[in-house]
Structure 1
Amino acid sequence: MSAEELMQRYAAGERDFSAIALSEAILEGADLSGVLLSGASLDGANLRRVNLSHADLSGADLNGADLTQADLSGADLRDAILDGATLEGAILDGANLSQADLKVANIVQADLSHARLSQANLSGANLEGADLSGADLAIADLHQANLHQAALEEANLSGANLADTNLEGTILEGGDSNLAT
């Protein structure tokens, strides 16, 4: 399926595009709120400024995808692969990223407030200036991540791996500070 066909079918009211292959697709600025893309292959896709709020992207392959300033608020990204993805300035408030693979992802200045990131792999990720207030990072792997000036107020970090993590200027007040390092 092409990106154009997806947009036409979405505009016609279709919402279930589970397991489709759209590697390298260009969907910049598209409104796909509430779309079902579980298990879809979107690796290397241009999803800059796309509206994927409340979308189901569980198990989707978003390796190297560009989600700069995308709206993923309330989206289901459980078990999604976002290895090396760019999520700079993305809105992920209330999103479910449990067990997602975000290794070396660029998540600078993203809004992850109240997101569920339990057991997510964020090793080597750049979360500089990200808002993780109220986020659930229980048992998350954050080793070698950059959390410089990130906000972690009221975040659950119990069992999280913060070995070799840059926490300079990070606000940790009020969260669960039982950390595994």
Structure 2
Amino acid sequence: MDAEELLRRYAAGERDFTGLNLINTDLTAVNLSNADFKNAEFRMVNLRNANLSRANLKNSYWEESNLQGVNLRGSDLEGVVMRDVILENAEIADTNLSNADISESNLMGANLSGANLSEASLYIVGLSSANLERVIFRNTILDEVSFDSPERQYRDIESPKLLREYAAGERNFAGIRVNGRSLSGADLSRINLSKAILIAPNLSGGNLSNANLSGAKMLGANLSGANLSRANLSGADLSGANLIRANLKGANLKDAILSGADLSETDCEGANTDNVILVATNLRAAKGFNSGVGAFVCKTTIPDGEFIEGPDWVE
């Protein structure tokens, strides 16, 4: 059954979808309240902001799915299995989660008030800012569960999975470590990768316009031809990065480290370069690049081809 058929049958009054199997399906903001999804399987399903209140989800299986902002109030989730599921800011109040098995999932900011987690198992789950009033934790296993603030959350993610989550509507990947290098040509506009770790990623030709890359470590990144217009790269470490012919118009490069980076033929019109570090950097033919206040320049080729031995600080 695909999404279209499911919604058609639901609209016709059907509520019994026991054993349903949905894969790679977009059901953003749909209303499926009171539906029976007992023993159903959901893989790579986007139910962001959907209404599943009072649904029967007993013994259902969820994997790599986005339920951010979903309404599950009053639903029966007894025995549910969730692997790598986003439940950030979800409404899970007064639900039955007894005997649930939830692992590597994000419940930050979720409302769990009155939920029953008896005999449940939570492994590598983020619960920062979650509402846990009146939650029943009878014989509940909490293994590597984090109640820390969001900025301290941390997880590894494979690049294909990052692309899937982004396509499903997720934009916040702050503080993650991306494994796998191939993101060439990807559209990741407005993504939040602040303080993320991406070692030698291939983002050539990608769209990172308006992205938040502040404090990110992107050593040896291939960003040739990438669109980084209006991106926030403040404090980012781009040592050894390939930025040839990239678009950095209006980007914030304040405090960024560009040691050993190649920015030849890059468009830097309107970029903020205050306190930028330029050591052995190639800026030949870079358009509109001006070293900002406090910039450190050493052994660098500037846009007109002149070699600056340095060290020199721009006042």
TM over 0.5: yes
Q: State the TM-score bracket (shorter-chain normalisation).
A: 0.7 to 0.9
Q: Distance in 1 between matches of 2:60 and 2:52?
A: 13
Q: 1:21 to 1:129 in 2, by over 3 A?
A: same
Contact 1:16-1:36 within 8 A present in 2 as well = no
C-alpha displacement of 1:137:
0.7
Task: Give secondary structure in 2 for the equivalent of 1:67.
Answer: strand
Deviant stretches of 4+, over 6 Å:
none
Q: State the match for 2:142 in structure 1.
A: 147
Structure with bigger strand share is: 2
Which AA in structure 2 matches 1:7? E
C-alpha displacement of 1:93:
0.1
Task: Give secondary structure in 2 for the equivalent of 1:87.
Answer: strand
Q: Distance in 1 between matches of 2:53 and 2:59?
A: 16
C-alpha displacement of 1:143:
1.5
**Residues 1:28 and 2:23 are matched in the alignment:** yes
Q: State the match for 1:49 in structure 2.
A: 44
Cα deviation digits, residues 44-73 of structure 1 (max 9, x gap) = 111122111100000000001111221100
Q: Relative CO higher for 1 or 2, CA cutoff 8 Å, sep ≥ 6?
A: 1
Q: How many residues align?
A: 150
Q: State the match for 1:162 in structure 2.
A: none
Contact 1:18-1:38 within 8 A present in 2 as well = no
**Residues 1:109 and 2:89 are matched in the alignment:** no
Q: State the match for 1:64 in structure 2.
A: 59
C-alpha displacement of 1:147:
1.1
Task: Give secondary structure in 1 for the equivalent of 2:44.
Answer: coil
Cα deviation digits, residues 99-158 of structure 1 (max 9, x gap) = 01111111111100000000000111111110000000100001111111101136xxxx
**Residues 1:37 and 2:29 are matched in the alignment:** no
Q: 1:58 to 1:17 in 2, by over 3 A?
A: farther
**Residues 1:133 and 2:118 are matched in the alignment:** no
Q: State the match for 1:167 in structure 2.
A: none
Q: 1:18 to 1:145 in 2, by over 3 A?
A: farther
Q: Distance in 2 between matches of 1:132 and 1:18?
A: 36
- Give the TM-score, by structure 1 length: 0.76
The unaligned stretches of length 5 or more in structure 2 are: 150-315
CA RMSD in angstroms comes to: 2.2
Q: Distance in 2 between matches of 1:20 and 1:36?
A: 12
The unaligned stretches of length 5 or more in structure 1 are: 155-181
Q: Distance in 2 between matches of 1:76 and 1:25?
A: 20
Contact 1:17-1:37 within 8 A present in 2 as well = no
From 75, 87, 91, give the equivalent of 1:92. 87
- Give the TM-score, by structure 2 length: 0.45
**Residues 1:7 and 2:9 are matched in the alignment:** no
C-alpha displacement of 1:29:
1.7
User: Highest CA radius of gyration, 1 or 2?
Assistant: 2
